[in-house]
Every structure is written in structure tokens, then in C-alpha cells.
Structure 1
Amino acid sequence: MSEFLTIGEPISLFASEDDDKELKDALNFHKYLAGAEVNVAVGVSRLGHSAQYITSLGEDPFGDFIKDQLHENKIGTDYITGNPDYWTAFQLKQKVTHGDPGIFYFRKGSAAAHFDQAILDKIDFSDVKLVHLSGIFPAISDQASKAFQHFIDLINEHKITTTFDPNLRPQLWATQEKMVKDLNNFAKQADIILPGVAEGKILVGSEDPETIADFYLNQSGKTHTVIVKVGAEGAYIKSKDGTNTMISGYRADKVVDTVGAGDGFAVGIATALLEGKTISEAVKRGNAIGSLAVQAPGDNDGYPDRAQLESYMK
């Protein structure tokens, strides 16, 4: 079994290679593996840690592509099921030289949205040290949301450390009210929460990092640390043990694509914690990988191996 585990919906991403053209006008695309949780698994594996990914795929070319990519990235597929009745999600992404890219999803009714939670009861948790959770998977369907809660119950039953990134995708939720309620409920069941300041404005009504951190630390849950991402400035940490500090970010030489930066940050947190580093050291690594991520075109292409990370952080 692996030391790192996550659950999500992987996507075949077609990223435009035409600068600043709207998706309807773009003609040239490159195919990548994408999806927030799988991005984190890729980064964790690239830094030498064993990782397993949980999902359901359609029995189609996109599903085959994703399985091949997972194997290429040395990510375990023991808990991936195939579903011949539903299809594998894919998406189109605009290439922009500034701001956020336009994204169009083809994922409603996918195989992952029909995920059978029975596979969760077959997981061997004996070697798992950390589980990364994202707010995207429970957004794709009620069935996925129920499976997500069951997964959290199993994790906490085995007393495994969890990180939770809200990863807001309003277009996937029925209403914003439901999104806020459900994500904050999931958050209080995690040890470490990784919101961004823009997410904080929606989830807790504030962009102030300390106010966001206090909200989650004061929820009646198991959360002991909140790390608020503040873009290029870095990240703010507040913990129940008294930690209260800002860790400066790394300045990117050139921003190519901002998608995947938050997942890269989570890679830094997860891998550093697996290696027994302090939370401040973990955040510093997260800042570095997030900076590397925005300098590459794919969602996870910029994530470093061990040598690249050490060189960049120096």
C-alpha cells in the first residue's frame, strides 16, 4: 500500500496553444492529464513518495489515456474502477498571457459522478500516512458527495492526517449556499485546511487571512492548522499550537498558466509533512512548487522532481 492517498475525478485536458484566443476561435490544442486531486498525486509521486489514486473511469479512449498517464507517473491504480455505462470527463482550457483562462467542462454524468463507494471499504489503510481531500469531488454529484463523506469517516476512523483544499467550482454546485455549507462541513473534519483568500471571501465572508484562519480553527471540528494562500505574497499559517506567521512566496520569472498552482502548493505541504518537516518548512516548499507550476503550460507539468526542487529553493 502507499503512504499517500487521494480521491477525485481525473480529466483529459485539451489546452489551447493559441495565445489569448477564445476557445471558440482556438485551433491548436495539446492533451494533458488534469484534475486537482490527480495533480497532487502526480507531484507527490514525482518527489519520490508512493501514491494511490481513487476514482472511476469510463471504458473509453479518455479513460485509457488517464490510466496510461497514471502508470507513467508511478501512481497506484488499485482502487480505480471502470464503468462501461458512463464516460470519462474532459475539458477545454484557454491559453492566456494574463488573468484566469476560460475553461469549458464536459463532466456532468461522468463515470466518476457515478462512483460506487463500495470500493472504499476495500482500501488497505495500513501504510497510509496522509490523505489529501479536495472540494471538487463532492461537487460533481450527490452520489460522489455521499462517497466522499464515507471516505472521510474511514480516514478518521484510522486516525490518518488529512489536508483539505476547498477548491471552489461554483459551476458544479446546485447553489452557492449549498457549496458553502457542504465545504465548510467537510473542512471541519480535516486536520489542515488550505483555502485561498478569494475562497475565504465566499466561504467565510472575508479576504483577511487571519479572519479566515480563525473561522476554521473555531469550528467545532478536528482542524488544528489553517494555511491561507495569499498569491505571490506567500501563505499565512495559524495553528492551535500558537503558530501565527506569514511565509514569503517565490517570484515567478514568467507566468504561463496559473491553473495547478494551488495543487502544487498542496504537493509541497503533503510531501514535507510525509518527511517530518515543520509546518513552516512545508509552506515554504508549497510556495516554491506553486511558483514553478505557473511557469509551465499543463496543470502539473511544472511540478519538480527532487533535484529540481532543491535547486529552485536554493
Structure 2
Amino acid sequence: MDVVTLGESMILLTPESNGPMRYAATFSRKIGGAESNFAIGLARLGFKTGWISKVGDDEFGRAIISFIRGEGVDVSQVKSDRNAPTGIYFKELRNRTDVRVQYYRNESAASTLSKTDICEEYIAQASYLHITGITPALSESCYEAIKKSMIIAKNNEVKIIFDPNLREKLWTSKEKAKQVMLEIAAQADIVLPGLSEAAYLFGEEEPEVYGSNLLELGAEIVILKAGKKGTYYFTKEQSGFVASFPVDQVIDPVGAGDGFAAGFTSGLLDGIAIEEAVKRGNAIGAMVTMVNGDVEGLPEKNEIDRFLKPNNDDVSR
């Protein structure tokens, strides 16, 4: 197994029309979740990924398992819960620049994930463990599951990738969010915050200060995402900046960060230079924004190769 991740996936309902959702009469049904988006992104690039989670023992839960399995992700560690439902969220596309998300995940099956659901042998076989700041915010038992997974990773020399993916409304307080985020960052080998997330943790500073702070906490690699501007990277030996790819029209920005994480991690697995890995992450993040849906824009290997090295003489039909 190349990468194991854990977290909640939900049914995504999107109005077929733009504007305030109260006027929507019909919705499309898709599937999304930061961790499974990431796993699917890597699977499409040819890597072996596994996803740990819980879903409701209901039709939505079955749909999620079937879909993610169909994308090539191992779902052998996903459990169904008869006593809790599968989470749902709505994506409201008011206009091209105003996308709003509303979650209905309180007391969902995934929020009951606990340390007893974590299999040491499953994580120990992986090269990387990927976690986000969403999962520990869902419940105390999810927080304990994350802590156990990190202990297993440390004991088995599995590198930990931490994407803060801050969802402030899920936390009981800003103080608790910062405490847990910094605690996880201190255990992680690779940390991937956005600029706003770094500011949340450390206050308003220059990117170099954020990089230095996270390296001092213990990270080997710090990736600092600056949106459409580009991405900073920091290690103890080097630092740099890689510009983003221009996008003529952003259709749906949700999921771009997960696409970046998948692209960057694929670069680590391929053993390419960190700057090239960041460039690949930027490319996939850009590609995701061009398509409606969390995973629909995630490319396969040949597609990302074409995006990075376009062939102007291609006349295939």
C-alpha cells in the first residue's frame, strides 16, 4: 500500500441551477470528502491507496462504498453502522465566484469512528499515512482514532502527511482547534496548510515565518498554499516558490486542495524533486477547479502529463 487515509465521505447534493438554493427544484447526487478525494486522486495516478472510515448502513452508505471502490481505492477497512446515518452536504453555486457549502453531518456514522476501528497492520504496510484536521474535529472518538493512527505510523516508520483543512464550525472553540492542529503538526513529517490556516495557527506573519515555525515543530517538509498565486515550500535545506497555473474560468473550487495534496504526494512517491512535486500538485489543483464536482476533475496519469507538457501538434479526434 502506498498511502492510507482516514476520514468522512458524504453524499454531495448540488442544485442543477445556480443562485440561492431555496429556488432549486432538482439536484445532482455526487460523493465527496477530503480524504477519499485525496485517495481517489492518487489511485487515478496509478498508486495503491486505502481508506478507513464508517458509513451508515443505508443506501447512501452503500453508494459511497461502491463508488470509492470503483475508483480503485481499497475499502476493506470501511465499516457500516446500523445506528447512525451517512452524512450529507449541499454545494450551493450562487455564481462563478460565490460557492457555499452546507453540511448535515452531526452524529453521522463517520463521527463514531474510534481507535478500536484502527488496524495497526493496515497502516503499518503503507509508505504514508494521510490525515486532515477535519477528522479530529468530528468527535472525541475521531480525535482518539487519529492519535492512535499517528502512533502506529511512528512505530512503523510510516511518514505522516497532515493537511489542516480547517473547518472552524466543526470545533467547539478556536483554542481547541489550534491546540489539536499544532499537536498533529508536531507529529507530522509533511504539513500542507494554506496561508489562511497558517495565519489561524500563528497570527499574521510572512510565509517564511510560517515555514520556519512548522519546521521547528518537527516537520521535514512544509508546503504553504497561496491559492491562485502559487505554493511555497520549505525544508531545512531549501525553500522556494512555484507559481500556480492560470485558469481561464473556475467552475468549482471545492476539492482543489485535495487534488493538490494527491499530486504533491504522487511526486514524493515517484521520488522527483520537491519543486517538481509542488508543480504537479499545482497542476492537479488547477485541473480540479475546471470541473464541477469534488473528484470529477482529478486526472489520470496521461492527462496530467499532457497538461504539464502540452503537445501543440496533437490532432487526435
User: Shorter chain as normaliser: what TM range?
Assistant: over 0.9
Letter in 1 for 2:284: I
How far apart are 1:100 and its partner, in Å? 4.5
Matched, 1:229 2:225: yes
Give, in whole Å, the separation in 2 of the partners of 1:116 and 1:95: 34
Q: Of the candidates 170, 180, 184, which is equivalent to residue 172 of structure 1?
A: 170
Classify the secondary structure of the residue corresponding to 1:81. Answer: strand
Equivalent in the alignment of 2:313: none
Q: Of the candidates 146, 161, 164, which is equivalent to residue 163 of structure 1?
A: 161
How far apart are 1:99 and its partner, in Å? 3.3
Equivalent in the alignment of 1:293: 288
Give, in whole Å, the separation in 2 of the partners of 1:143 and 1:125: 18
Give, in whole Å, the separation in 2 of the partners of 1:100 and 1:64: 31
Residues 123 and 129 of structure 2 are in contact (CA less than 8 Å); yes or no, is this contact kept in structure 1?
Answer: no
Unaligned ranges ≥5, structure 1: none
- Using the size of structure 2 for normalisation, the TM-score is 0.94
Unaligned ranges ≥5, structure 2: 310-317
How far apart are 1:207 and its partner, in Å? 5.3
Give, in whole Å, the separation in 2 of the partners of 1:113 and 1:126: 24
Give, in whole Å, the separation in 1 of the partners of 2:254 and 2:204: 23
The residue correspondences of 1:242-281 to structure 2 (distance < 5 A) are 242-281=237-276
Query: How many matched pairs?
Result: 309
Identical positions, percent: 33
Classify the secondary structure of the residue corresponding to 1:188. Answer: helix
RMSD, aligned α-carbons: 1.3
Give, in whole Å, the separation in 1 of the partners of 2:91 and 2:71: 22
Deviations 1:127-175 (A, max 9, x none): 4111211000111111101111111111111111121110000111001
Give, in whole Å, the separation in 1 of the partners of 2:60 and 2:108: 12
Classify the secondary structure of the residue corresponding to 2:228. Answer: helix
Give, in whole Å, the separation in 2 of the partners of 1:35 and 1:100: 20
Equivalent in the alignment of 2:312: none
How far apart are 1:203 and its partner, in Å? 1.4
- Using the size of structure 1 for normalisation, the TM-score is 0.95
Give, in whole Å, the separation in 1 of the partners of 2:205 and 2:97: 19
Classify the secondary structure of the residue corresponding to 2:208. Answer: helix
Equivalent in the alignment of 2:11: 12
Residues 165 and 195 of structure 1 are in contact (CA less than 8 Å); yes or no, is this contact kept in structure 2?
Answer: yes
How far apart are 1:55 and its partner, in Å? 0.3
Distance change in 2, residues 1:239/1:100 (3 Å): farther
How far apart are 1:116 and its partner, in Å? 3.2
Greater Cα shift, 67-76 or 110-119: 110-119
Equivalent in the alignment of 2:65: 67
Distance change in 2, residues 1:99/1:211 (3 Å): farther
Residues 97 and 255 of structure 1 are in contact (CA less than 8 Å); yes or no, is this contact kept in structure 2?
Answer: no
